[in-house]
Amino acid sequence: MLIGSIAELFFWFFWEFLLSFILYTTGAIVLRLISFGRVRKPLFMPSIFSNEKRLAKNDFFSAYVSGFFFYLILLAFIIWVG
């Protein structure tokens, strides 16, 4: 039971501070490149990111999904080539 709680806490920490920042930043850049600059999601420093994410939950979702699919397509491409 304690090990499960520690594992869940570690996963939450890993997701909240590392993956969410990387996925959002990648997604924001991908959206900006694909739309030729028409869609502009703000880019934040890691120290400001968590505060801004709490304030605008709905605005962050499209950038997260874009970043996730970018890495998913990149992984599929690497597997296909390799």
The pLDDT of residue 58: 62
The pLDDT of residue 71: 92
pTM over 0.85: no
The pLDDT of residue 19: 82
Give the chain as a DSSP string.
-HHHHHHHHHHHHHIIIIIHHHHHHHHHHHHHHHTTTSS-PPP--HHHHHHHHHH-HHHHHHHHHHHHHHHHHHHHHHHHH-
Q: Would you kindly state where each structural domain of the chain is located, as residue ranges?
A: 2-81
Rounded Cα distance, 73 and 81, in Å? 12
Rounded Cα distance, 2 and 20, in Å? 26
User: pLDDT 10s digit of each residue in the chain, 82 long?
Assistant: 777 788 888 888 777 777 888 888 888 888 888 888 787 777 777 767 776 776 666 677 778 888 889 999 999 999 999 8
